[in-house]
Amino acid sequence: MPQPGLKTRLAALDGLRLVAALMVVLYHYAALSRPWGHDPVTIFPTLHHFAQFGWLGVEIFFLVSGFVICMSVWGRTVGDFAISRVSRLFPAYWVAVPFTALVVKAWPEIHSIRGWDDVIINLTMLQAGNNTRNVDDVYWTLFVELKFYVLMAVVVLCGVTYRNMVIFCGVWTVAAALAPSLGFPLLAAFAMPVYAPFFIAGIAFYLMRRYGSNPMLWGIVVMQLLLSQRYLHYRMEISLGKVAANLLPTWPVRLIVIAGFAVVAAIALGAFDKVQWKWLTTAGAITYPLYLIHMYIGMTLIHHFRNQVPAAVLLVSVTVLMMVTAWLIHRLVERPLGKWLRNAMRRGVDDVRRNTPAHKHPRTSPDTEALALAPAPAARRPAEHEAPVTSRIG
């Protein structure tokens, strides 16, 4: 079993989340023509070459999410897991939706709000399930995350153990690989073949962190890395357009994905355990609200002031402004509202438990299978790290 006495937070994981968030921000601000009114390659000829691959920050978010969510379900009931996710995701989101809607409604320069009913439905985070338009296009990744949470909730119901997690990774891999050819829309919707490799690899990396690496876990990771290559050109097409995707080489995309896997592997194996810079914790905390608000608000500001402020100054200024705003949302909304929501939901769960017969209480299965399937225990304990999705892209 994992050994005690280890650090309780992975600062390097926070740093990776910040990098992923800034990649997405840079992609929206320096690679797309909408905020500038024309192709920004003429404005940022060098930066544009890097920014056009920033959409891969979403894939890195999903990779980190697999790691973190696997960590967060350990020893929890489904109710505990639901409380942690709702209190983490919704407070900042409930601010981001009306904030973005108001900005876009006041200055409909790059986007418009079709109706306030769309805004209201967006507050549920389920708009993609009933074909309601997103208030901000980045919200598409949140529905992907929610489906991942549903799958993880099933694992929690079965019991979170090493063996069950490995089985889950195997079953999901098969489902994701076969879903496109089987013709079952529901299977494809939840198997998520485009993004499953990143979530599954993240889970395997956390198992390495908790139990140490072994050939089985490395086999899962390598399999996901190979499967992820199948849809990278498709991701290029929807992010850059078919014409640009067919003109650009794919090797930078593959290299960035491999680098993402390598960094998370290094974190899982403890290579960055000595990185404990306090500012990374704050940086990691603002990545979720930054992701939620940066796109249409930032692009609207750039479009509005593009002829009045030098491009480089405008790009940096808007990015910094979005980061400061994200920090304010984190401090003034996420932390207090998240705490209140968490406590309120726990009281509700406690009321249900008090009124449920003792023999029906859900229990988390003990991790006894791990002794048979896991290698010799690692010389470290899993970090307790709270993080979003999303990014992720995500």
Task: Give the residue extent of every domain in the chain.
Answer: 11-373
Contact (Cβ atoms closer than 8 angstroms) between residue 220 and residue 200: yes
Whole-number pLDDT of residue 2: 45
The Cα 122–Cα 101 span in angstroms is 10
Whole-number pLDDT of residue 237: 94
Placement of tokens 């048979």 in the chain? 372
Structure tokens, 187: 């299977």
Whole-number pLDDT of residue 182: 87
Whole-number pLDDT of residue 361: 52
Whole-number pLDDT of residue 377: 41
Structure tokens, 144: 């992907």
What residues have CB less than 8 Å from 33, skipping those under 6 apart? 39, 40
Whole-number pLDDT of residue 303: 96
DSSP sequence for 14-61: HHHHHHHHHHHHHHHHHT-STTTTS-GGGT-TTHHHHHTTGGGHHHHH
The Cα 112–Cα 251 span in angstroms is 36
Whole-number pLDDT of residue 347: 87
Whole-number pLDDT of residue 348: 78
Mean pLDDT by 10 residues, the chain (394 residues): 48 94 97 93 94 96 96 92 94 97 93 88 93 94 96 95 97 94 88 96 97 96 96 94 90 96 96 90 93 97 96 97 97 95 86 67 44 40 39 36
